[in-house]
A and B are shown apart, each in its own frame.
Chain A
Amino acid sequence: GDSVTQMEGPVTLSEEAFLTINCTYTATGYPSLFWYVQYPGEGLQLLLKATKADDKGSNKGFEATYRKETTSFHLEKGSVQVSDSAVYFCALTINTGGFKTIFGAGTRLFVKA
């Protein structure tokens, strides 16, 4: 069935370090891909999305490119800040007569000053 796999955390980085969080997916159709962020005690917020192959989603310095050939949507940021500490969820949405979202397990990021 459809699924999302992302790298296990936690990931601990120093401020200004480069961030990569890997995400791969399996889907029977042609999904849209998303990254959501969850700050402590809060709900999920959409970080970025891509709806077709080779699209690049970007927001707040984060980027991810929809790679159909490798079924991946890795999240990257060139220089992380302490305020980026959160849990990041990779997700896909498929249309099965209505839209359904499937989430990865989440990756917790800690950024040290």
Chain B
Amino acid sequence: GAVVSQHPSRVICKSGTSVKIECRSLDFQATTMFWYRQFPKQSLMLMATSNEGSKATYEQGVEKDKFLINHASLTLSTLTVTSAHPEDSSFYICSTGEGETQYFGPGTRLLVL
């Protein structure tokens, strides 16, 4: 299956700053990538669908101006958490794949102080 990497794996930032998370598909041309967040001991919640060369599609309740997504190439999608606050602390996971089979990145743990 496809190999998906994320960078950074862990980040700590101050409240009010912005953080960029990268998701790379290493051996697969990803026209679509999905971004999830996972709170401690909870399931993954889909935040948005990232489409190469076009605007992302956000799930209900997710602020598109706060979680900026850019999918400029077939191998890279980025999620920027703008003006981060402590409640944004979470585990962010991306995935890509063909049809119903998804391959997940290892996740990025964000801690906002």
Contacts and interface: CB of A to CB of B under 8 A. Distances in A.
Contact of A89 (B32, B41, B43, B106): B43
A42 B101 contact: no
Interface residues of B, number: 22
B46 A101 contact: yes
Interface in A38-59: 41-46, 49, 51
Interface of A: prevailing SS: strand
B107 A99 contact: no
Interface of B: prevailing SS: strand
A103 B43 contact: yes
A32 to B, nearest CB: 5
Interface of B: 1, 4, 6, 32, 34, 41-44, 46, 49, 93, 95, 99-107
Given A43-B93, A46-B103, A101-B34, 15 more contacts: A41-B106, A43-B6, A43-B106, A43-B107, A45-B104, A46-B1, A49-B101, A89-B43, A95-B100, A99-B99, A99-B100, A100-B46, A101-B46, A101-B100, A103-B43
